[in-house]
Structure 1
Amino acid sequence: MRKYIKSCFYVLLLALPLVNAGAQTIPFFPLDGAPQAPAVPAPQLSTGAFVPLEIPDFAFSGQADIEALLESAIRGSKKSVEVALYGFTLPRVAQALVDAKERGLAVRVLVNESHVYTSRISEQLELLIDKGLELRTLRGAGNYGIMHNKLGIYDGRMVSAGSFNWAVTANLANSENIVFSRDKGVVTGYRKYFAWMWGHARPAGQGPGQPVANYGPPPEDPARTIFYNGALLPAYSFSPAGRTEADILNALNFTRESADIAVFSFYSLDIGNAVVNAHKRGVKVRVLVDRVQASQSEVGALLIKNGVPFRWSQGYAGRGVMHNKYAVLDSKLLMTGSFNWSVNAQQNNFENMFNTADKAYTEAFAAQFERLFLAAETPTSADLEKARLQYQSAVTER
């Protein structure tokens, strides 16, 4: 199987354009003179025998060993584990999935296609394939789409989602978040979404698929039970071609007091203009983005031009990336998930967004935003241009 997978990679090189910016390695540029964030206890990363952990409602990289939480969720499952992953390099989680299969659980693994059909497939994905786990691959819509989810479903009773890629860098360097939900409606929605994706995916042994222009509408939350300042919002939404961008716009338009936004890739001008409009009508808006991603987007310049408080940063350890994709609105609505605020995320990628008005979530994410924003830099338009040129130079030299 491993030889077949690698041979398919060379076919893929000839058949597909290598233009997926979402899969590029991002050059590292150190931040100069960034202020220090308030002290937060460093996570104790597990290095010995497995010790089960209580699964929280949420966690942040740099404050928790999220790999250990995922391992605990898998090892605590009794019947089934379903995961949909953009990339995968977590060794303890890989072994936990293998052990789950050997314990007789129904284990299904869905992976972004280009992470499997590559000469640089991770050891962890190779392990899953070699051990015979049921693994399928999925590509996004059109030429640029990816399967960008980072989610798990455990015994059909609990879901994990958020920005956290199941990767070592996410645990050790990036600024990330993960949420866990046992809400029956949320779990049901994510199970339908996983089944929908699984139906479009291909078994790993079949090789890469052909471009698909349109997968049709993804499942939606029929209840839309979150009441936010007069707007009815769903507890979850999915891509491609779902209503996530419309829900973000709707929420921003109904925001009255504050909007704290931390987004890795902010490319949607429609959402950017909605943020500007909120700022102009007196909403206290603060936007935090990743430094390199910001240099490649028009939105940063738009926000700076209109006086929106705008900062950029990297990962929590002074390296890595600011990889969150969330907003806390009026201190009473949290929107988080894998969904970057971009046209590609809306139209082409497989993505998810988890929404809640639960104070436990909103207060914790608001406090985390405060820490991140305090430690970030405030760039000028000239800084954006300088970073853009640095990025282009680094890409050209590779």
Structure 2
Amino acid sequence: MFFFKTMLVVICVFFNLHAKDNKTSLLPNINEVYFLPKEADIAKDNILRLIKKSKNNISIAMYNFSYKKFAKELISSSKDGVEVTIILDKSKITKNDKIYKYLKSNGINIKIADKKMHMKIAIFDEKIAVLGSINWTKESFKDNYEVVLFTKDKKTINKMLNYLNRF
């Protein structure tokens, strides 16, 4: 009986620690989808967690990016040695260049698409991709009906990386 109780405690502690330490465990399957605004906090927290936990690289193509919280975390990751590359739409930068200047002045590699760049993609360490209808703006997470897909599907991720590397 003592052995059974001890094992039960060990298992509970393990799962509890794992869940607290690695919230990407919220993505146990190949794909997880979130609908906003109802699941906005989960989606936002998962994106922030992926930015913080990335070790090698983050590749982003984002039509409209003005969410300073994400920008700050990307800069922090970059300063920790993570290679961050962001492709932005030229018209959005022309309209509002605040985040662009902030990211650029903090060493983030920014590329400007020569045509309308309407994608909303982020790839973390070439292992998890986030895509959907959502722009990285505070309003998109708060006010809009959006869909966000988190995927670990390697074939999909490789195809997206090959496409983004053309810029």
Query: TM-score per shorter chain, which class?
Result: 0.7 to 0.9
1:285: Cα distance to partner? 0.8
- Choose from 31, 35, 38 the match for 1:238: 35
Structure 2 alignment gaps of length 5 or more: 1-18
1:258 aligns with 2:57: yes
User: Which residue matches 1:300?
Assistant: 100
Cα-to-partner distance string for 1:151-208 (whole Å, 9 max, x where unaligned): xxxxxxxxxxxxxxxxxxxxxxxxxxxxxxxxxxxxxxxxxxxxxxxxxxxxxxxxxx
Q: Find the aligned partners of 1:327 and 1:293 in 2 and give their Cα distance.
A: 18
Q: Find the aligned partners of 2:121 and 2:70 in 1 and give their Cα distance.
A: 13
Cα-to-partner distance string for 1:271-302 (whole Å, 9 max, x where unaligned): 01111011000001101010111231421111
1:325 aligns with 2:125: no
- Choose from 271, 277, 289 the match for 2:88: 289
Report 1:108-257 matches (<5 A): 230=22, 231-234=24-27, 235-241=32-38, 242-243=40-41, 244-257=43-56
Matching residue's letter, 1:365: M
Cα-to-partner distance string for 1:201-234 (whole Å, 9 max, x where unaligned): xxxxxxxxxxxxxxxxxxxxxxxxxx9x933244
Matching residue's letter, 1:309: N
Q: Find the aligned partners of 1:248 and 1:238 in 2 and give their Cα distance.
A: 14
Q: Find the aligned partners of 2:67 and 2:156 in 1 and give their Cα distance.
A: 26
- Choose from 333, 346, 357 the match for 2:152: 357
Q: 1:327 to 1:365 in 2, by over 3 A?
A: same
Q: Find the aligned partners of 1:268 and 1:239 in 2 and give their Cα distance.
A: 16
Whether the aligned pair in 2 keeps the contact of 1:266 and 1:294 (CA below 8 Å) is no
Whether the aligned pair in 2 keeps the contact of 1:239 and 1:350 (CA below 8 Å) is yes
Q: Find the aligned partners of 2:26 and 2:100 in 1 and give their Cα distance.
A: 27
Report 1:12-31 matches (<5 A): none
| Between structures 1 and 2, the one with greater strand share | 2
Q: Which one has the largest radius of gyration? A: 1
1:313 aligns with 2:119: no
1:247: Cα distance to partner? 1.7
Cα-to-partner distance string for 1:246-287 (whole Å, 9 max, x where unaligned): 221111011110000000000100001111011000001101
Report 1:27-106 matches (<5 A): none
- Choose from 138, 147, 151 the match for 1:343: 138
1:367: Cα distance to partner? 0.5
Q: Percent identity?
A: 24
How many residue pairs get aligned? The number is 140
Q: 1:353 to 1:290 in 2, by over 3 A?
A: same
1:350: Cα distance to partner? 0.4
Matching residue's letter, 1:348: D
Measured on the aligned residues, the alpha-carbon RMSD in Å equals: 1.7
Runs (4+) of structure 1 exceeding 3 A deviation are none
Whether the aligned pair in 2 keeps the contact of 1:259 and 1:284 (CA below 8 Å) is yes
Structure 1 alignment gaps of length 5 or more: 1-226, 316-320, 374-398
Moved more, 244-253 or 273-282: 244-253
Matching residue's letter, 1:313: A
Q: Find the aligned partners of 1:245 and 1:297 in 2 and give their Cα distance.
A: 23
User: Which residue matches 2:7?
Assistant: none
- Choose from 364, 368, 371 the match for 2:163: 368
Cα-to-partner distance string for 1:127-146 (whole Å, 9 max, x where unaligned): xxxxxxxxxxxxxxxxxxxx
TM-score (norm 1): 0.34
1:358: Cα distance to partner? 1.0
Q: Find the aligned partners of 2:133 and 2:159 in 1 and give their Cα distance.
A: 18
TM-score (norm 2): 0.79
The alignment partner of 1:232 has SS state of helix
Q: Find the aligned partners of 2:81 and 2:66 in 1 and give their Cα distance.
A: 23
Whether the aligned pair in 2 keeps the contact of 1:263 and 1:289 (CA below 8 Å) is yes
| Larger RCO, structure (CA 8 Å, separation 6 or more) | 2
Whether the aligned pair in 2 keeps the contact of 1:261 and 1:328 (CA below 8 Å) is yes
